[in-house]
A = this chain, B = another copy of it.
Amino acid sequence: MAQHMTTAALESLEIEVRALLESDNLEGVRKLLNKQQPPDIADVLDRLESKDRARVFELLTLDQAAEALHEMGTETIRKVFADMPKEKVGDLLDLMAMDDAAEILTQDVPERQQELLTEMQPADAAEVRDLLKYPAQSAGRLMTEKFVRIRPEMTVEETIAHLRKVDPEVETLTDLYVLNPEKQLIGVVSLREVITAPSERRLQDIMTTQLVTVPPEMDREEVARLVSRYDFLAIPVVAPDKAMLGIITVDDIIHVLVEEQTEDAMKFAAVEGGMINQPYFTISIRKVIRTRIGWLLLLFLAETLTGSVLRVFEAELEAVVALSFFIPLLIGTGGNTGAQTVSTIIRGIALKDIRLQDSWRVIRRELGSGLLIGLLLGIVAFLRTVLWGSDLRFCLVIALTILVICTWANTVGSIIPLVAQRLKIDPAVVSAPLITTLVDATGLAIYMLIAKAILGI
């Protein structure tokens, strides 16, 4: 019984392939890969060097190659395509699901899109062109036209006979879609309902007419939330005139969820998008720098504000040098508190727990918890600085600053995502790093003003 691939198993598969290549045993490689699943074949190809990759790719059957292609990283796909006559690339694309082919043509080899479309079968190329009419990242791009179409007057028996002849490319048989002569979707019936109904029943009598559908322009992340919220295995895409355009299957939804997860995690750490579908080692250092330097520069320039704030208080810092010892501690605590709040609010917005009407409730709540957290941390800070042997008034400065900074960071950390939501900007983009910078500069001003007042400098 074949087991799935653990990381260790993937490592040893790679080592085995390399050893067989070393000894020029190409037949051994072919036999070994024949037993593997497409994502694991893709994984090996992603990790081989150019020359070996071309040799291994040659060994795959067209079907295997087409299935592995969709799972490969952008750089690997580009190189594999470059090494191949374009007629063969066309054949490979023809064998793929058309939504996957469309994704490769826009995401991985955009500059060869037109050229490769002309190498595909006219019907397939037409389907891809249809998909490409919809905006990037939209429901339309994820659709497949390969679903089961049934007429409402068909009986269960006729339906089962029809299913036996259905195009083997049809991706899923779980749900059957009932269309009227105008190709509008009027009902859905599950294969299970068909199987368990009496054979002379008509589909119009057993189909569900309470339908959940999406328009082709809907953002794919929204579609993913919908499918995961309602536990669908597929969701129909319907035009404004109710004409049925296609379905989106749950496997595409899972890919969207995983990709968006990567994108969000990267955004949160201020790494720019565009790294999706690119395994770590396949990205050139040049591209790495490009995706990282923009945000770092912006944050660097924003953070110079802290220098300007401190300059204003040069006299105070000169008078009590010990004030500078606490700068990293105070702004660090503000940053951490703010980051917690931002993450909580962003998730709440994403899961629809927090809505526009809730803004004031959210701000009041975060202000309250910021005050409590500030109080607790302030007490700890007071004791810690007393232990350090600092002057009591100085300890009071630190404790009070912690209290105010935590309250402030929590409030700012809730306001910024809420404002982003209202302006329809992705809250994850205006995320933690930006808030940190903002809280840093204001936090320092708060610190210095409190110190001035209490220490009388």
Contacts and interface: CB of A to CB of B under 8 A. Distances in A.
A361 B353 CA distance: 43
Interface in A186-226: 191-192, 195-196, 209-214, 226
Contacts of A43: 352
A78 interface: no
Given A257-B261, A317-B324, 11 more contacts: A2-B212, A37-B230, A228-B257, A269-B344, A269-B432, A279-B348, A296-B340, A296-B377, A310-B325, A314-B322, A317-B321
B296 A311 contact: no
Interface string A71-109: 000000000000000000000000000000000000000
A210 B365 CA distance: 54
The complex is assembled from copies of this chain, and their number is: 2
Interface string A290-334: 001101110111011011001100100110011011111101110
Interface stretch (A21-29, A112-120, A436-444): A436-444
A325 B343 contact: no
A288 interface: yes
Interface in A13-56: 35, 37, 39, 43, 46
Contacts of A65: none
20 contacts: A10-B355, A39-B229, A160-B195, A164-B195, A228-B251, A228-B255, A228-B257, A265-B343, A269-B339, A280-B362, A289-B373, A295-B340, A297-B376, A297-B377, A299-B333, A300-B381, A310-B325, A310-B328, A314-B325, A328-B444
A359 interface: no
Nearest to A366: B288
A173 interface: yes
A333 B300 contact: yes
A285 interface: yes
A293 B374 CA distance: 10
Choose among A269, A306, A346 the residue with the greatest number of B CB atoms under 10 Å from its CB. Answer: A269
A214 B285 contact: no
A215 to B, nearest CB: 9
Choose among A3, A227, A265, A285 the residue with the greatest number of B CB atoms under 10 Å from its CB. Answer: A265
A227 B250 CA distance: 11
A1 interface: yes
B37 A340 contact: no
A247 interface: no
Contacts of A173: 191-192, 195
Contacts of A7: 352, 355-356
Nearest to A214: B4
Contacts of A69: none
Contacts of A377: 293, 296-297, 300
Interface string A159-201: 0100110100000011000000000010000011001100000
Contacts of A10: 352, 355
Interface string A216-246: 0000000000111111010000100010000
A2 B354 contact: no
Contact of A11 (B271, B348, B357): B357
A324 to B, nearest CB: 4
